[in-house]
């Protein structure tokens, strides 16, 4: 059964805050339209991940292009410093101290957020999770999570792999950074489909979402296994694209000798699928700014929202399927 969340207390505080700002502007003698407009804007603190590949760039750009002044928002964008969680916690704390109207959180790490979320709750500032969940997951500390379903996406990738290798085969997994909830969810979904099949995982290693590391890790693992690898599951596109380079440099043919499946669905990956370098790409749709906007408005109006809003995402299993969407791909 779905759970609906409501944040009713905040509406009154937001209204009082807007009135206070308006009165302050009048008492200071400021009668410019700019001052009035600034007081009417809803402030949104965006605790972001920052540079982390094409998917993240598309996602954060989409959020920034959605929460604009024209839409009635002042977005305060705070990307992490070198993916460091402490910098995110510091930004989150600053937003609470400032008294922003709402916080959007894309966490670099799943754990370690309880104190911050409790502080936001005490300040009656609603928090909305974007993409990544938290661990332990306590839905009482946030309004909702907006993201594609990592477990389901990876499960579909695994189901495709089992179908491709009815007689089994050796595979390696290229994972994202340790401690990230997305990594755990994608492992869970993949394992649920391939466990009990003839597929044998000979190695699993992080390549930190990086094409360069995906290439170097794959090179090492191919050599360690005498090129006896038939499948590579890369938890994001960049690592999969790096793996394809390593496969070629090892004298093997991607898509023939070694099939490569990835998650994200960036334009570069779709082109690689169209060119036969990748064998399967499952989209992890990053363009959910409009959904986040709708949730923020409903939350501030005291309306109910689902505790987990799943963003629909497609799967592509052929060059033809990739070619059909390449021209309109936005990321």
Q: Identify whether 311 is part of a domain.
A: no
How far apart (Å, rounded) are the C-alpha atoms in residues 183 and 196?
21
Please indicate whether residue 39 or residue 244 has the higher confidence score (pLDDT).
Answer: 244
Same structural domain, 138 and 192: no
Domains of the chain: total: 2
Would you say residue 299 has pLDDT above 90? yes
Same structural domain, 139 and 8: yes
Among candidate residues 193, 198, 201, the one with its CA nearest the CA of residue 172: 201
For residues 13-30, average pLDDT: 34
Instruction: Report the DSSP beta bridge partners of residue 280.
Output: 261
SS3 content of the chain, % helix, strand, coil (to 5): 45, 20, 35
Please indicate whether residue 105 or residue 4 has the higher confidence score (pLDDT).
Answer: 105
How far apart (Å, rounded) are the C-alpha atoms in residues 202 and 163?
19
Q: Give the up-direction half-sphere exposure of residue 82: CA atoms within 13 A in the CB hemisphere.
A: 0
Would you say residue 10 has pLDDT above 60? no
Same structural domain, 120 and 251: no
pLDDT in tens, 66-125: 999 999 999 999 999 998 999 999 999 999 999 999 999 999 998 999 999 999 999 999
Would you say residue 303 has pLDDT above 60? yes
Among candidate residues 278, 169, 166, 168, the one with its CA nearest the CA of residue 225: 169
Q: Identify whether 307 is part of a domain.
A: no
How far apart (Å, rounded) are the C-alpha atoms in residues 31 and 25?
7
Same structural domain, 135 and 21: yes
Same structural domain, 244 and 161: yes
Q: Identify whether 172 is part of a domain.
A: yes
State the pLDDT confidence band at 39, using cuts at 50, 70 and 90.
low
Looking up tokens 């309880």 gives: 114
Buried b (16+ CB within 10 A) or exposed e, 183-219: bbbbbebbbebbeebebeeebeebbbbbbebbbebbb
Q: Identify whether 74 is part of a domain.
A: yes
Same structural domain, 126 and 177: no
State the pLDDT confidence band at 282, using cuts at 50, 70 and 90.
very high
Same structural domain, 215 and 293: no
Structural domain range at position 141:
4-147+286-300
Indicate which CATH number applies to the domain containing 20: 3.40.50.2300
Cβ(219)–Cβ(245) below 8 Å: no
Same structural domain, 9 and 96: yes
State the pLDDT confidence band at 18, using cuts at 50, 70 and 90.
very low
Same structural domain, 143 and 290: yes
Same structural domain, 135 and 179: no
- Average pLDDT of the chain, as a whole number: 89
pLDDT in tens, 136-186: 889 999 999 999 999 999 999 999 999 999 999 999 999 999 878 899 999
Q: Where are the beta strands (DSSP E) in the chain?
A: 4-5, 42-48, 73-79, 102-105, 127-130, 144-147, 169-175, 199-206, 231-234, 259-264, 280-283, 305-306, 308-310, 315-316
Looking up tokens 């490569």 gives: 260
Q: Identify whether 308 is part of a domain.
A: no
The tokens describing 320, both together, are: 């033809």
Cβ(102)–Cβ(128) below 8 Å: yes
Same structural domain, 130 and 170: no
> What is residue 75's predicted lDDT score, i.e. its pLDDT?
98
Same structural domain, 87 and 174: no
State the pLDDT confidence band at 38, using cuts at 50, 70 and 90.
low
Residues present in the chain in total:
331
């Amino acid at each position: 059964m779905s759970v609906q969340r409501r944040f009713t207390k905040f509406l009154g505080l937001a209204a009082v805050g807007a009135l206070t700002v308006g009165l302050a502007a009048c008492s200071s003698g400021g009668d410019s339209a700019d001052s009035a407009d600034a007081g009417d804007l809803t402030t949104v603190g965006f605790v972001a991940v920052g540079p982390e590949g094409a998917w993240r760039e598309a996602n954060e750009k989409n959020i920034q292009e959605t929460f604009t002044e024209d839409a009635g928002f002042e977005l305060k964008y705070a990307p992490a410093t070198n993916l460091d969680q402490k910098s995110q916690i510091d930004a989150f704390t600053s937003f609470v101290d400032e008294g922003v109207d709402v916080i959007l959180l894309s966490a670099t790490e799943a754990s370690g957020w309880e104190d911050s979320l409790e502080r936001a709750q005490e300040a009656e500032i609603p928090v909305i999770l974007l993409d990544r969940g938290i661990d332990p997951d306590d839905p009482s500390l946030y309004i909702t999570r907006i993201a594609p379903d990592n477990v389901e996406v990876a499960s579909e990738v695994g189901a495709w792999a089992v179908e491709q290798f009815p007689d089994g085969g050796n595979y390696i997994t290229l994972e994202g950074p340790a401690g990230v909830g997305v990594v755990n969810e994608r492992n869970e979904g993949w394992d649920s489909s391939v466990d009990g099949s003839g597929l044998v995982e000979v190695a699993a290693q992080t390549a930190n979402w990086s094409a360069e590391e995906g290439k170097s890790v794959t090179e090492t693992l191919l050599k360690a296994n005498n090129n006896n690898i038939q499948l590579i599951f890369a938890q994001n596109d960049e690592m999969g694209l790096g793996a394809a380079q390593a496969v070629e440099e090892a004298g093997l043919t991607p898509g023939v000798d070694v099939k490569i499946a990835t998650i994200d669905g960036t334009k570069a990956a779709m082109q690689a699928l169209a060119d036969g370098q990748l064998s399967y790409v499952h989209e992890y749709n990053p363009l959910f700014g409009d959904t986040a906007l709708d949730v923020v408005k409903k939350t501030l109006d005291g309306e109910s929202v689902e505790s987990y809003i799943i963003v629909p995402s497609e799967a592509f299993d052929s060059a033809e399927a990739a070619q059909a969407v390449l021209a309109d791909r936005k990321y």
